[in-house]
Amino acid sequence: MPHDHHDNDLDEMTALTRALETVLVEKGLVDPAAIDAIIETYSNDVGPRNGAAVVARAWTEPDFAAWLEQDATAAISSMGFTGRQGEHMRALFNADGVHNLVVCTLCSCYPWTVLGLPPVWYKSPPYRSRSVRDPRGVLEEFGTKLPEDTDIRVWDSTAEMRYLVIPQRPDGTEGWSAEQLAALVNRDSMIGTALADAP
């Protein structure tokens, strides 16, 4: 008798994670509600919204932007964003003619406190290797086409140092509040694979 076939559209890592979670829950070693709470916290509460608030403040407060450039760890910490993989931070400011891109070539070092959970593509071998060899091509695959004379600087995140890209403030946002501006800041723009959203 043939076996029933169930299509599984999960990538291998997600499938393994779910299998491990199932075993741990069945053995009573973890509480599924606790897992859900951790995921919710890093996906929504701790995460890209925190980074967006940092960026928006840098756009609206020159003194904070200067502090962020000089000591990103302290400036970010002053906003209450501390914790896992956010202990040693450096802010990279995009500007006319300069675009920053962050990658972790060895593993997936990532500033959870300001960006939340890392996207799957950030941990993938093709992104980790091609970002160094062909950053312009990688950016174009993300839909980010930069002028040919733009200097693309690639930064390799490590256990000792993690990076937050401060994208350029979009035109047409003069007079906007920090809260309004934060809504234009997306996670990918803080990694460098995208620009901030247009108003």
Task: Please give the annotated binding residues for Fe(3+), written as ranges.
Answer: 104, 107-109
108 counts as catalytic: yes
Query: What is the residue-wise DSSP string for 67-134?
Result: HHHH-HHHHHHHTT--STT-SSEEEEE-BTTEEEEEE-SSS----HHHH-SPPHHHHSHHHHHHHHH-
Please enumerate, by residue number, every residue annotated as part of a binding site: 104, 107-109
107 counts as catalytic: yes
124 counts as catalytic: no
Catalytic residue among 77, 78, 108, 124: 108
Catalytic residue among 43, 77, 78, 109: 109
Give the angle 162-146-159 at the CA atoms, nearest 5°. 10
104 counts as catalytic: yes
- Decide if 100 contacts 131 (C-beta within 8 A): no
d(C-alpha 18, C-alpha 24), whole Å: 10
Catalytic residues: 104, 107-109
